[in-house]
Structure 1
Amino acid sequence: MALGFTPKLIYYAKLSKPRIIWLLDLAALAGAFLAGRILPLNLAAVLIGGTLASGGSMIVNEGIEIEKDKVMKRTSRRPTVMGYVNKKEAIVVGSIMLLLGTAIGLIANPLTSFFILLGGLIYILVYTVWLKPRSPLNIVIGGFAGSAAAWAGYAAMVDKFDLASFLLGFLIFMWTPGHFWSLALRYKEDYAKAGIPMLPVIMPENFSAKMIAISNTLMIPFALSLYFYLGTTYLIVSSVMSAVLMYFSVRLMRNPNAEEAWTSFKVSSPYLAVLLITVIIIRLMSII
């Protein structure tokens, strides 16, 4: 029995998309440190609860999208597609994880639990079920799922939602379209086969590249605005990182192909990660 149970856990771990979860956990950590104080038990609650809820939401997403994943080369080897985890199992297990993560968030406070649940519901119901099959705005509105992670981390420390919390979460929201449109441009044919109306699928490549650049440009003021809470060091780091990001956005506009889109995608992940780590380090230094 144990031999059959262990591989199943491995399949669920793969379905939970750990490469996305670590960035969501980093957002929660940044939110917690931005609040200006660290409560260890609350921090553990938001990280454990958030990780479970995020992973569960991803698993539900992949349970719902088995048929689409089958026709996309990028997703054709997922455990759900291969038959190791069926649709019902994915939805049930993922939903249990989401509810368990939400309950753990209550250890911190109800507001933290609310944001953990909100992120999961936005990802499953708003993004996966409603917008992704119907609208190129899918990833735009779905970006609030990432924002909720930062808001949960902040709320876990101070039990409130204020301008500082909003700005950090909205930075993640504004970062999301450019990041995922770059991925969609790289895998345009995959999304087209699956019938998913991502922006690069329904619009020409040069238009998509321009929208990625515009989205990134509109994000930068929100990135820089955290200077008012974090000071000059953050302003320098965010300015340099924003300049690098815009350099690759301009390159993509000039040469809107899959290779440049992939480069843009790979640059945008470290961009957000560096900003979040900078928030953590600056606040950590002030707490110490």
Structure 2
Amino acid sequence: MRTTLKTEIKLATSISARLIYYAKLSKPRIIWLLDLAALSGAFLSGKLMPLNIIAVLIGGTLASAGSMIINEGIEIDKDKVMKRTSKRPTVMGYVSQKEAIYVGVALLTLGTLAGLLDNLLTSFFILLGGLVYVLIYTVWLKPRSPLNIVIGGLAGSAAAWAGFASTTSSFTISSLLLGLLIFMWTPGHFWALALKFKEDYSRAGIPMLPVIMSETFSAKMIAVSNALMIPFALALSIYSGIVYGIVAAVLSAIQMYFSIRLMKNPTGEEAWRSFKFSSPYLAILLILIIITRLI
């Protein structure tokens, strides 16, 4: 009896621990923003379809989590030498490379199938986001080219397109603009992070822009990326109204303020300030789209 009880407790603890490991590997701080992108896409259509929205959120969450887990399974050796990632469960040996990849593929597959509960186009965009992140970004571009995060930004765009498709079964100019906003937001956001952790990426041999170019040039490219993002942010006011437009203009001005500060003083500390503002910037715009379409 005691042996059985101890075995059951050990098994329960093991399952609980593994769930925690996979939750950490799934990068929930990124997933919530991807889900918000999908939600804003769904509401941008102007059609309130709760069951469709729930389906795309479940599918998107599963697929995003799977893609992140595959990424960390593939990149164990790189994560080991980066201070920022050296405590991940894959690096610590709690989750093996093979297990991470198998579980990640299973979750990506389940997420894609969940998208079919809405329609084929939703499922396609969910799968597209996962394949872009895993194959194009992680496997192909990240170890080879500073353009890695530029093309990789399509994974975030696909989340918004999946959300829009979930309630419309279509792809339109409005959904394209939302996807392009996220696409143009991505380089400035992650180049700022890479500038802050330049030594980490250098040790891992990852050719992020700030690793292979000077801090001054990298700061200019961050500013250019952010500047190119603003027209798409403002263009969405056509569909989301004047209040959205005013807020987008104010937030964009603040984002450019941080970009100008970074160009004048291209340090890790200034890059971190720009990075920390960019997530709320995008999140607020996405939430505003949802609110204005509800109203």
TM range (shorter): over 0.9
| The one of 244, 265, 271 aligned to 2:275 | 265
> Aligned letter for 1:39?
M
- Tell me the secondary structure at the aligned position of residue 191 of structure 2: helix
Aligned length: 285
| The one of 111, 115, 124 aligned to 1:105 | 115
The answer on 1:163 being equivalent to 2:165 is no
Q: How does 1:58-207 map to 2 (within 5 A)?
A: 58-207=68-217
> Aligned letter for 1:120?
G
Distance, in Å, in 2 between the alignment partners of 1:94 and 1:276 is 27
| 1:40 Cα deviation from its structure 2 partner | 1.2
Partner residue, 2:44 = 34
Distance, in Å, in 2 between the alignment partners of 1:136 and 1:143 is 13
| The one of 25, 36, 51 aligned to 2:35 | 25
Deviations 1:112-158 (A, max 9, x none): 00000000000000000000000000000000000000000000001
Partner residue, 1:14 = 24
Distance, in Å, in 1 between the alignment partners of 2:166 and 2:19 is 29
Partner residue, 1:280 = 290
> Where in structure 1 are there 5+ consecutive unaligned residues?
none
Q: How does 1:41-60 map to 2 (within 5 A)?
A: 41-60=51-70
Deviations 1:204-252 (A, max 9, x none): 0000000000110011001101111112111101000000000000000
Distance, in Å, in 2 between the alignment partners of 1:45 and 1:235 is 30
Where do 4+ consecutive residues of structure 1 move more than 4 Å?
Answer: none
Deviations 1:168-205 (A, max 9, x none): 01100000000000000000000000000000000000
Distance, in Å, in 2 between the alignment partners of 1:38 and 1:230 is 15
Distance, in Å, in 2 between the alignment partners of 1:38 and 1:115 is 20
Partner residue, 2:6 = none
Distance, in Å, in 2 between the alignment partners of 1:179 and 1:83 is 30
Distance, in Å, in 1 between the alignment partners of 2:38 and 2:84 is 28
- Tell me the secondary structure at the aligned position of residue 77 of structure 1: coil
| 1:261 Cα deviation from its structure 2 partner | 0.4
- Tell me the secondary structure at the aligned position of residue 38 of structure 1: coil
- The structure having more radius of gyration, on CA atoms, is 2
**TM-score relative to the length of structure 1:** 0.98
The CA RMSD measured in Å over matched residues stands at: 0.5
> Aligned letter for 1:153?
G
Partner residue, 2:259 = 249
Q: Percent identity?
A: 73
Distance, in Å, in 1 between the alignment partners of 2:61 and 2:115 is 11
> Where in structure 2 are there 5+ consecutive unaligned residues?
1-10
Distance, in Å, in 2 between the alignment partners of 1:280 and 1:230 is 9
> Aligned letter for 1:130?
W
More moved, 250-259 vs 2-11: 2-11
**TM-score relative to the length of structure 2:** 0.96
| 1:41 Cα deviation from its structure 2 partner | 1.1
